Amino acid sequence: MSATPPPSVLFVCLGNICRSPLAEAALRHAAQAAGLELTVDSAGTGSWHIGKGPDPRSCDEASRHGIDIAHYRARQVTARDFDRFDRIVALDASNLANLERIAPASPHARLSLLLDHVPGMEGQDVDDPYFGGPEGFVTTWEQVSEAARNLVAEFLDERAGRGH
């Protein structure tokens, strides 16, 4: 086994209770299915949900796909995350701008927007389902799952030396 640590990804949305926990779950699930070892976490740029579990609708949507996220706990992104993770992936342009604002001068992490990893959806925000009904969480899951599959493919290409 290689001494190189597995690639690491941090997903970031506003409160870390809806979109980023679903993205974390989707990437963990996709990586496991592909036999790819990854370190995956999520955080929010805001502080008001620190220590709270995901929105029950996020838990319900993940559960529909056989994934339990009830034990996840919201946290706020920190300056240290820019050195701890290889990639920090924002769920929308507003959070990407917040991350760019707080990033150190020479961060280790590469910043990106999640849907930049989905051909044809570059530059778009993952839908924020917070103020809507459960159907919004279905759409969010579809978006983060497609992006997660593409991220896994990117990591597998990098591991094979084909890079992105």
111 falls within a domain: yes
68 falls within a domain: yes
* Catalytic annotation present for 13: yes
Q: What is the DSSP string of 22-72?
A: HHHHHHHHHHHHHT---EEEEEESS-TTTTPPPPHHHHHHHHHTT---TT-
- Tokens 């992936």 correspond to 89
3 falls within a domain: no
115 falls within a domain: yes
CATH number of 135's domain? 3.40.50.2300
- Which domain, by its residues, includes 86? 8-159
The domain tally of the chain equals 1
For residue range 36-71, what is the model confidence (pLDDT) as tens digits? 999 999 999 999 999 999 999 999 999 999 999 999
Catalytic-labelled residue, pool 75, 116, 128, 159: 128
164 falls within a domain: no
Catalytic-labelled residue, pool 19, 57, 87, 149: 19
113 falls within a domain: yes
Residue 161 confidence (pLDDT) above 90: no
Tokens of 7: 């690639």
- Are 96 and 122 in contact by the 8 Å Cβ rule? The answer is no
56 falls within a domain: yes
Catalytic-labelled residue, pool 13, 18, 59, 125: 13
Q: Which of 22-26, 95-99, 103-107, 116-120 has the lowest mean pLDDT?
A: 103-107
Q: 0.85 exceeded by the pTM?
A: yes
147 falls within a domain: yes
